[in-house]
Structure 1
Amino acid sequence: FGSVAGGGRYDDLVKRFTGQAVPATGVSIGVDRLLAALAAKGRLDSAAQGPVVVTVMDRNRMADYMAMVGELRAAGIRAEMYLGNPKNFGNQLKYADKRQSPIAIIEGEDEAARGVVQVKDLIEGAKIAAQATVEEWKSQPAQVEVARADLLATVREILGRHG
């Protein structure tokens, strides 16, 4: 692997660029090498789940979305809010997929008015999509609508199913 970290005195380096002798020390860590070393020793969990992603359907409701993220985090669940352009919902789900998110939370204007949220099980959805016919896919929805008050319990239940 070579060295994973290194450091030392850099007096001459500073002098080379500034012309002044300045006492200096430094250290660096080769993140790529560190990850390779951890993987080689079996100490790196490469299948770690990403965070639960709270999607953004209405920029005027950012405080509501952040409250959901805060509630999930307070319960010890990794969560983040989508910060890109909310106009293309498909991009939000692509982002969640790229982040290896197990769940996406969706609350648009209609859901907010009814006091509900959509909880999309992205892991189950991917399994169903890979194996099912259209009819089977429709009969096994990976997205459920729950009362806003039940968000945390539903997320915990889904995360529990996926280990």
Structure 2
Amino acid sequence: MSIIDLLHSLLKEKVPGIHATRLQALMAAVQAGLKGASVSITQLGRSLSGPAYIKHKIKRMDRLAGNYHLNSERMEIYGAMTRWLLQSLPMPLILIGWSPLTTDQHQQRLRAALPAGGRSVTLYEEIHPVKKPGNRRIQQRFLRSLQALLPADVAPIIVADSGFR
């Protein structure tokens, strides 16, 4: 079973409210992300397989990125992925940190990730304006959101960068 098939089955089972077409578009985006050199709407569209013109593929990814329903299902998707990834780890090491999202650094990403084989797998992330890094209320809300995603029997070890207090 490929990773795409596994992810599709997991999300179909754990996020039953997700529309079949939206799930199919999400899986196409994941497949394109695995093939492409970078993960931008344009690059995802260019990396999609199929006979459609490139401009239509890019438009498909643009619609997915701006989809209101997908955004409202985001926490369910993060939760399903997080619980699946941590199901056999009673004390996972979770890395938390701020990092610039754009080259002009106007947006910052607050991310919780699981280290795996020299890389990290995102468990949960939020995007905030540049004025917000280090904001205690945002960080506390982030930790509460992360806690809601974790399985009840997990006691994580949190390692945060110096921007996280």
TM over 0.5: no
| Structure possessing the higher relative contact order (Cα contacts under 8 Å, 6 or more residues apart) | 2
Larger Rg: 1
